[in-house]
Structure 1
Amino acid sequence: MHLLLPLLASVLFVCGLIFVKRVSRSAARPDGVGQVTLLFCVNMGSSALMSLLWLFDGPETYWLNFWQPAIVALLFMMGLLLTFTAVEVGDVSIATPVFGVKVVFVTCLLAFSSANGVPSSIWGAAILAATGIALIQWTGQHHPRRIGLTIALALGAACCYATFDLLVQRWSPDWGSTRFLPAVFVIVAALSLLALPWIRWRPVVSNNNWKLLVPAIILLACQAFCITIAVSVFGDAARLNVVYSLRGLWGVLLAYTAARIWGGDEADLSGKLLLMRLSGAGLLTLAVALAVLA
């Protein structure tokens, strides 16, 4: 049942990125919201949601180890910044499946850092997921100038979040989930305040961008809450991330649907290209089934 959390997070993540993509179209303009404003708002929303965990009982925290949530907070912010940049540069249907490489990174990190290693079935699921992601990317040649940069940024985000998950799984038991995660996001909020001089508040209100920004904040904050809680409480990072990699499937389907409704590059995909991307996403689904059945 705990795998339902990353499943929900995978849907929320893609829906949030669709709104981010629409907001980021105006990011480069002088009157646009801007990446800094977007990053600040999402960080504060996630921090506010995570702070609710303070209301629950937890073990005594050892603040001498405050460097642990500080490292995790930096990884979260770097991953989110790379994610937003990848979505602004390229298509959601390209960037989102590449984020799924995170499942391979997590599996490798767990294998190298654990005495027991990772079950072979999880390795198989991770490789199958990576194959599906590769299939999606090898067919995405309609933007050759941007696809390389999009993939590089998405891989950087996946690496940050994979390390984030590994450290959350390792350090949360000593702190307790209701203490470690709020400590992480208190630091995230504090670091975000440093960006206040560069935040553009006027475009958020004057151009009605808040109608897109508010759903993006809520969706991304809720998905961060779901996946982080799942890793912290249950610790099954490898299998959780295989299920979470389903966002590659939703990234193709929902991005295409949204582009058909509101406009976007994904709406121009040929039937053959869309079918190939869906085939790659189907391999991701098989990887999830293998991980769950294992």
Structure 2
Amino acid sequence: MQNFDGKIFGGDLSREIEGNTDGDGDFGGKRVTPAHRFSSEGNSVLFDPLLDAGAGFAAEAGEGDIRAVVLIERGSHTGPDPFFGRRSAFRQFLRMTGHGYLILPLFSSVVYAVGMIFLKRAMEMGQPPRRVLVGSNLAMGLAFAPLLFWAEWPKAEFPQWMWLGPSLCSILFFLGQVGTFRALAGGDVSVATPVLGSKVVLTAVGSAWLLPGQVPEKFWWGAGLCSLGVALLGGGGGEKGKKGAWRAVGWGLAAAASFSLTDVLVAKVAPQIGLALFGPLMMGGVAMLSVLVLPVWAWGGLGSGQGRGWLGWGVGLIGVQAVALLGGIVVSGDPIGVNVVYALRGLWSVGLVVWVGGWVGNREAGLPRRVLGMRAVGAAFLMAAVWAVLA
């Protein structure tokens, strides 16, 4: 048989089923069945091995070079790096960790921290916490809605109870949102946001219970370091005093518990139903539950009042980061690793309060050096937790 002359990150791809090259240098001895019988005529073909795996393509490569999307091209040249170049530092980082999907929660952690500072500013300017909560829920519902264009009815068989998954996750996530904004209204951003990182431990416990075999030892180390960092970040009082800080911690822990159960259920159920269907169902339910906080006829006033600009930007960012975060959990099936990286939002919140807090009118920038120092040490523990998971 005639083989297709192509490369995948330096490894040959055989065109026919009888080919014996799969990009692993014959190390694994596996054979590749092409997904779509690529023609030897024409230009390069872009395809997704995660989507095409069912057609027979081996999604993993023996040398660890293939990623979620690869470029197959004719000729003797190796395929380009799917991110920033052949030998970029970013690619080396991904190859070192083997957890490229953690880019999604890293992105979400930064966007979440910025969004929460905007929302806190909106509340300081007079926006009621209920209006901010409902606006965030509606923004997430709208952000997930376009995924329905790619939704397909699941063909594989799975337990019928899993169809309750989107509804259960909607309720749990909604309760987590209530706790989050009660914490934000009663305390500082640099207290409320880091405390939410405690859900890493709760997610690890929940995963061990519902997802047996999914909790390597390094994740427990990461969860422990993350919790210590959260304790330091949330300590020392704040702009509203110790009472306000403890109120924020209490509501933040309650929110973390709800979010942790949500993430474990998402990792268990969403891959069966599909992200494009599960996500809109779940977040649509969260949006509908907002009627318990604010009647539908009052939603028209979400864009009014002082601070509406901060509110609009804040809820928009919260919606975008939610899509990336849920996508990371579904694609990876690794809610613990995703949440350890996502806990870096506590680090970003402290840094942003110090660097740009005064510019946006946030009062936390004037906190005592002792408090900011404790939160800086806590941020260091968060970085150690991320390293423990990625090592």
Contact 1:125 1:288 in 2 (8 A): yes
Q: 2:295 aligns with which of 196, 201, 212?
A: 196
Q: Distance in 2 between the 1:198 and 1:104 partners? A: 40
- Number of aligned residue pairs: give it: 287
Q: Displacement of 1:141 after TM fit? A: 6.1
Q: 1:175 to 1:20 in 2, by over 3 A?
A: same
Contact 2:127 2:308 in 1 (8 A): no
Contact 1:33 1:201 in 2 (8 A): no
Name the residue aligned to 1:51. Answer: 145
1:110-149 paired onto structure 2 within 5 Å = 110-116=207-213, 118-140=215-237, 143-149=241-247
Q: Percent identity?
A: 31
1:56-135 paired onto structure 2 within 5 Å = 56-60=150-154, 66-116=163-213, 118-135=215-232
Contact 1:46 1:220 in 2 (8 A): yes
Q: Distance in 1 between the 2:167 and 2:320 partners? A: 21
Q: Distance in 2 between the 1:49 and 1:200 partners? A: 17
Query: Greater share of helix residues, 1 or 2?
Result: 1
Name the residue aligned to 1:34. Answer: 128
Q: Distance in 2 between the 1:200 and 1:114 partners? A: 39
Bigger Cα displacement from structure 2, 54-63 vs 153-162: 54-63
Deviations 1:122-159 (A, max 9, x none): 10011011111112233336611211111000001111
Contact 1:255 1:266 in 2 (8 A): yes
Contact 1:36 1:199 in 2 (8 A): no
Name the residue aligned to 1:205. Answer: 304
Q: 2:119 aligns with which of 20, 35, 42?
A: 20
Amino acid at match of 2:130: V
Q: 1:269 to 1:36 in 2, by over 3 A?
A: closer
Amino acid at match of 2:217: S
Q: Aligned to 2:357, what secondary structure does the other structure show?
A: helix
Amino acid at match of 1:70: S
Name the residue aligned to 2:355. Answer: 257
Q: Displacement of 1:280 after TM fit? A: 0.9
Deviations 1:11-58 (A, max 9, x none): 1111111011111124xxxxx432222222211111111111111143
Q: Displacement of 1:193 after TM fit? A: 4.4
Q: Displacement of 1:117 after TM fit? A: 5.3
Q: Aligned to 1:100, what secondary structure does the other structure show?
A: helix
Name the residue aligned to 1:186. Answer: 284
Q: Distance in 2 between the 1:50 and 1:154 partners? A: 25
Larger Rg: 2
Q: Aligned to 2:117, what secondary structure does the other structure show?
A: helix
Gaps of 5+ in 1: 27-31
Q: Displacement of 1:189 after TM fit? A: 2.6
Contact 2:194 2:347 in 1 (8 A): yes
Q: Aligned to 2:152, what secondary structure does the other structure show?
A: coil
Q: 1:164 aligns with which of 237, 259, 262?
A: 262
Amino acid at match of 2:192: A
State the superposition RMSD in angstroms: 2.1
Q: Displacement of 1:112 after TM fit? A: 2.5
Q: Aligned to 2:359, what secondary structure does the other structure show?
A: helix
Bigger Cα displacement from structure 2, 282-291 vs 183-192: 183-192
Q: Displacement of 1:274 after TM fit? A: 1.4
Contact 1:33 1:204 in 2 (8 A): no
Q: Distance in 1 between the 2:211 and 2:299 partners? A: 45
Q: Distance in 2 between the 1:203 and 1:67 partners? A: 31
Q: Distance in 2 between the 1:236 and 1:123 partners? A: 13
Gaps of 5+ in 2: 1-99
**TM-score scaled to structure 2, two decimals?**
0.69
**TM-score scaled to structure 1, two decimals?**
0.90
Name the residue aligned to 1:5. Answer: 104
Contact 1:33 1:200 in 2 (8 A): no
Contact 2:135 2:315 in 1 (8 A): yes
Deviations 1:216-275 (A, max 9, x none): 111100111111111122211111111111111101111222322233331222223212
Q: Displacement of 1:66 after TM fit? A: 4.1
Q: Distance in 2 between the 1:5 and 1:251 partners? A: 18
Q: 1:58 to 1:234 in 2, by over 3 A?
A: farther
Q: Distance in 2 between the 1:18 and 1:138 partners? A: 19
Name which structure has the greater RCO, CA cutoff 8 Å, separation 6+.
1
